[in-house]
Amino acid sequence: MSTGNRNYLSGRALAAAVALPVVLFAGFAYAQVEGQPTPGGIGLPATVTEVGRETQAFYNALLLPIITFIALSVLGLLLYVSWRYNEQSNPVPSKLTHHTGLEIVWTLAPILILVAIAIPSFRILAHQVEIPESKLTIKVTGNQWYWSYKYPEDQGGGFGFDQLMKPENELKDGEPRLLAVDNEAYVPVNEVVKLQITANDVIHSFVIPAFGVRMDAVPGRLNETWFKAEKEGVYYGQCSKICGKDHAFMPMAIRVVSRDKYDAWLADSKKKFAAAESPTRLASSEQAR
């Protein structure tokens, strides 16, 4: 079985196979604009949180090399076997049916690969759900098909609003189609924001790629996660659970601003959204698609 196995993949080729995707994708990732997809973008979007950097490093430095190595190894093995053991080169096939050594290897190798993935994976998962000390909590509720936000009273809030996708004819300069919303949710830069996420009707999923935030919104359950955005700007996300006919049209937009601007927005919003429990939903759904 192993007679012709030499030099099947040399050490140098192996290193290249592992390094190539890392170099390629790292380069593309840094070329991205934060917060939204870019034309011709490839790789993961740029990120502005610690958890975001951890998840991307996990994918780029560990998962991608493993995926590439396995795919190339299997391809190489297939090519080698079809060349070395076809009817012409190997007219008398071996009657071998079992090989204890090989069976141990192909059982142990996947186990070891999974363990190598699991250890850093669980560490990042724990970092995502263990919420650091935070002064700001926002409750986010998924609805068919928009998001609602509530800012608590004791943190200068005491109001709630709905966030609906902006119809195309209302987009202002630079606002991305299918991502821009009527009411952006504001948060202060460099502060830990705790998110409480739930849903009213079916399961939705609150995902902001630039924050490394991904949390299911489940009716009757209050899921928690957090982020600390390090750069001002507007960051977009999309519902990531197939939740009905307008699943693709319920984006979210979070605007990260300085503490001063955030306080000013709080004061403004308190007046703007004070009138009703769901002040924006009725007005906006009339003009919705």
Continuous segment of H or E residues that includes residue 216: strand 213-217
Cβ–Cβ contacts within 10 Å for residue 196, how many?
16
Q: How far is the CB of 207 from Cu ion (least distance, A)?
A: 10
Total residues at the site for Cu ion (CB under 5 A)? Answer: 3
Among 239, 252, 254, 257, binds Cu ion (CB under 5 A): 239
Contact criterion met (CB below 8 Å) for 149 and 211: no
Binding segment for Cu ion (CB under 5 A), chosen from 3-11, 28-36, 150-158, 231-239, is 231-239
Binding segment for Cu ion (CB under 5 A), chosen from 106-114, 159-167, 243-251, 264-272, is 243-251
- Residue 189: closest CA among 270, 254, 253: 254
User: What distance in Å separates the CA atoms of residue 8 and residue 266, rounded to the nearest whole number?
Assistant: 64
Q: How far is the CB of 210 from Cu ion (least distance, A)?
A: 19
> Token pair 């190489």 is at which residue?
76
243 binds Cu ion (CB under 5 A): yes
User: What distance in Å separates the CA atoms of residue 209 and residue 35, rounded to the nearest whole number?
Assistant: 8
Cβ–Cβ contacts within 10 Å for residue 135, how many?
11
215 binds Cu ion (CB under 5 A): no
Toward Cu ion, which CB reaches closer, 46 or 239? 239
Binding segment for Cu ion (CB under 5 A), chosen from 54-62, 68-76, 108-116, 203-211, is 203-211
User: What distance in Å separates the CA atoms of residue 237 and residue 245, rounded to the nearest whole number?
Assistant: 18
Q: How far is the CB of 164 from Cu ion (least distance, A)?
A: 13
DSSP-assigned letter for residue 176: P
Toward Cu ion, which CB reaches closer, 189 or 202? 202
Toward Cu ion, which CB reaches closer, 204 or 228? 204
204 binds Cu ion (CB under 5 A): yes
Contact residues for Cu ion, defined by CB under 5 A? 204, 239, 243
